[in-house]
A and B are shown apart, each in its own frame.
Chain A
Amino acid sequence: MTRTPPETLVDALQSTALTRGDDRGIVFYASPDSSDYRGYASLDEHARTIAQAIAVAGYGPGDAAVVALQPGLAWADGLYGALYAGLAMVPTPAAGPGLAGRITGLAVASKAAVLIADASVVDLLGDAADDLGVAVLTIESLLATGDAAAWEKPAIDAGSTALLMFTSGSTGDPKGVIGTHGGLLASSYVVAEAMNFGPESTFVGWLPMHHAMGLCLEVLTPATAGVQSVATSPEQFQRRPLFWLQLISDHRGTATAAGNFAFGLCAQLATDEQIAALDLSSLEWTISGSEPVRPETVQAFLDRFASTGLRSSTIAPALGMTEAMLITMKPYDDDFVTRYFDAGLLETGELVAAEGDGSIELVSVGHPLPRTTLKIVDPDRLVEVSDGQVGELWISSPVVSPGYFERPEATAETFGFHLAGDDRSYMRSGDLAATLDGELYVTGRLKEVIIIRGRNIYPQDIEAAAAALSPALGIAAAFELSGPRPGVGVVVEVDEELTEGVTLDELSSLVTETVTKRFSIPSVTVSLTPIGSLPRTPTGKIRRKPTRQQLDNAELVVLHPAGVPAAASASAR
């Protein structure tokens, strides 16, 4: 008997349930002392139960469901329950201020018909649950009333939407990245193949399950590949960073993933006693993604945990994005590659190895994953550039999203691009990158790069230079100013209690002088704002475009120059 390969995520879990039963599944730790287990056969049964109840409630293919759940196995149930009913799932975190408003906003943006929540989230919403504009179904009642045996497979295929993942994007303008069954299935296979997942593999993680990467790495890929997944919540990680490594040790984890800061936090907080109890020799993949990998952080982590059997060759920088999940990673068993490049030449778009003063260290994000083609393209002329030239990273892969939900213009700006003599369709990543000796280096973001007289100046470099000038100066945002004269605006947060007698006027002049000289910028306009004022993403990254907009619209509190929006004064000059 031959079985056709799965076409949807539903087929894939059903196939895993058949081959692995409950021998493999997802373990979730709500705390170090409390865990639950859902084998894949049980997950399949829960999904059929929930889906049948959803169908009875009148929802099916073509409908979308906003899903808001506490961290836990309910996410796996809710995800597959929605998929088994043929629904597109719109995940959202279930906590934080403005929950009702966020759900309503997502429901409108995704045209969702229904909210799937757990009882505690419904409690949290209180009276607001009646005014969301969508019907509310609780996962508890769906599980209690559904009949798994009566479930009928929905009429969906590889092109059907499985997930709509809304990016934080620009203010008040969220874009829903479409994840199809076929695309997410391909992503699961690609990730499983890249990490050579086998029956004895175990993924350990604490990524949020309302994020693309958490769902992909902790639920979809393990369930598709029939691999054990051990998960806890970001909150549990933050409370006890070492708990992450203890889970890897206890469960003989073979793969894990986190951002650079997590490795730093563990190295900083681990006690000798905790380290003595760890065995990290089972790890084959220690993926570092979602923020730039800092070599000194990785080294501190490797040094601190050297006695645990952790191998340096497992550290795997990777590049991913909601629109394409994981696209590059360091190859198996190689040490990751880090090199020094000439900072001046990088500004002109060339990646040239250099040493000493004026060089900067970059970490390679590795090689393309299977079935993924990457090109570095001149973003203006739309032609491929040669090795060592910085250009925009273009991605062609079955894992790439077809576009943004009901946003034809934004979709056309990002997806469906072609190169001469190449019939593949590419997504424009918006990342600036270069390849050299087979390694890929990400150098910045396309749209935020400041171009002054043909030179690329990276705003993060200006921001770091400004912040380093005084203990009173902190996080900053730098951006290009439009107008007749080329110029750069820099807004720096200042802590007035740390100025040590230096006036704001002097601080401002210091920033202006330094940035002007060091980056050879003809016109620099500096504004100082109180700490905490600059707009940030949920992960604390500075948001440059909104900063500029707030400054232009006089919505930002400006301590200096007093009373005059800096952008206005600049253009009046």
Chain B
Amino acid sequence: MSQASSSPQTESTPQSTGDWLIERIRLYNQVDAEEVTLDAPLTELGLDSIYVMTLCGDIEDTYGLSIDPTFFAEFETLGQVATALDERIASA
């Protein structure tokens, strides 16, 4: 039970947006986990019309940003999405 007290530490080192995106999309489990990287083309992550919507909901719930599926059309890779999200978070 002693290690439970150390858990608040994870809150002080927030996960990067890119890592968070990778974690979520791996959870969707539509493609093999190793294929989900920041450099992978967005079209090859198994994000069909349903999972794109789920990702929008996840982004809204986690970062408070209202995102529509059309948002992703501008980008080719997950890394570009992460950068764009970071910019939005900073200006929000």
Contacts and interface: CB of A to CB of B under 8 A. Distances in A.
Nearest to A471: B32
A540 B57 CA distance: 22
B66 to A, nearest CB: 10
Contacts of A239: 53-54, 56-57, 60
Nearest to B54: A238
B1 interface: no
Nearest to B67: A239
Nearest to B57: A239
A235 interface: yes
Contacts of B61: 240
A261 B57 CA distance: 18
A215 interface: no
Interface residues of A, number: 11
A168 interface: no
B90 interface: no
A268 B29 contact: yes
Nearest to B41: A497
B50 interface: yes
Contacts of B27: 268-269
B72 interface: no
Interface in A245-275: 261, 265, 268-269
Interface in B26-58: 27-29, 44, 48-50, 53-54, 56-57
Contacts of A540: 48
A238 B53 contact: yes
A269 B51 CA distance: 11
A241 interface: yes
Nearest to B66: A31
B50 A235 contact: no
B29 A238 contact: no
B68 to A, nearest CB: 10
A238 B54 CA distance: 5
**For the complex, would chain A's binding face be called helix, strand, loop or mixed by DSSP majority?**
helix
Given A239-B60, A240-B61, A269 B54 contact: yes
- Which residue, of B28, B29, B48, B54, has the highest number of chain A Cβ atoms within 10 A? B54
B50 A265 contact: yes
B15 to A, nearest CB: 15
B74 to A, nearest CB: 17
Nearest to B32: A471
Contacts of A497: 44
B53 A265 contact: no
A252 to B, nearest CB: 24
A238 B28 contact: no
B60 to A, nearest CB: 7
Interface string A473-497: 0000000000000000000000001
A240 B57 contact: yes
Contacts of B56: 239
Contacts of A265: 50, 54
B71 to A, nearest CB: 13
Interface in A304-348: none
Contacts of B53: 235, 238-239
Best-buried of B48, B53, B60, B61 by chain A (most CB within 10 Å): B53
A419 to B, nearest CB: 42
B50 A268 contact: no
Contacts of A261: 50
Interface in B1-39: 27-29
Contacts of B28: 268-269
A259 to B, nearest CB: 11
Nearest to B52: A238
Residue in B54, B57, B60, B61 with the greatest tally of chain A CB atoms within 10 Å: B57
B70 to A, nearest CB: 11
Most B CB within 10 A of own CB, among A235, A238, A261, A497: A238
Contacts of A240: 54, 57, 61
A104 to B, nearest CB: 24
The 6 residue pairs across chains A and B that have the minimum distance between CB atoms:
A239-B57, A238-B53, A240-B57, A238-B50, A239-B53, A239-B56
Interface of B: 27-29, 44, 48-50, 53-54, 56-57, 60-61
22 contacts: A235-B53, A238-B49, A238-B50, A238-B53, A238-B54, A238-B57, A239-B53, A239-B56, A239-B60, A240-B54, A240-B57, A240-B61, A241-B54, A261-B50, A265-B50, A265-B54, A268-B27, A268-B29, A269-B27, A269-B28, A269-B54, A497-B44
Interface of A: 235, 238-241, 261, 265, 268-269, 497, 540
Given A238-B50, A238-B54, 7 more contacts: A238-B53, A239-B57, A241-B54, A261-B50, A269-B27, A269-B54, A497-B44
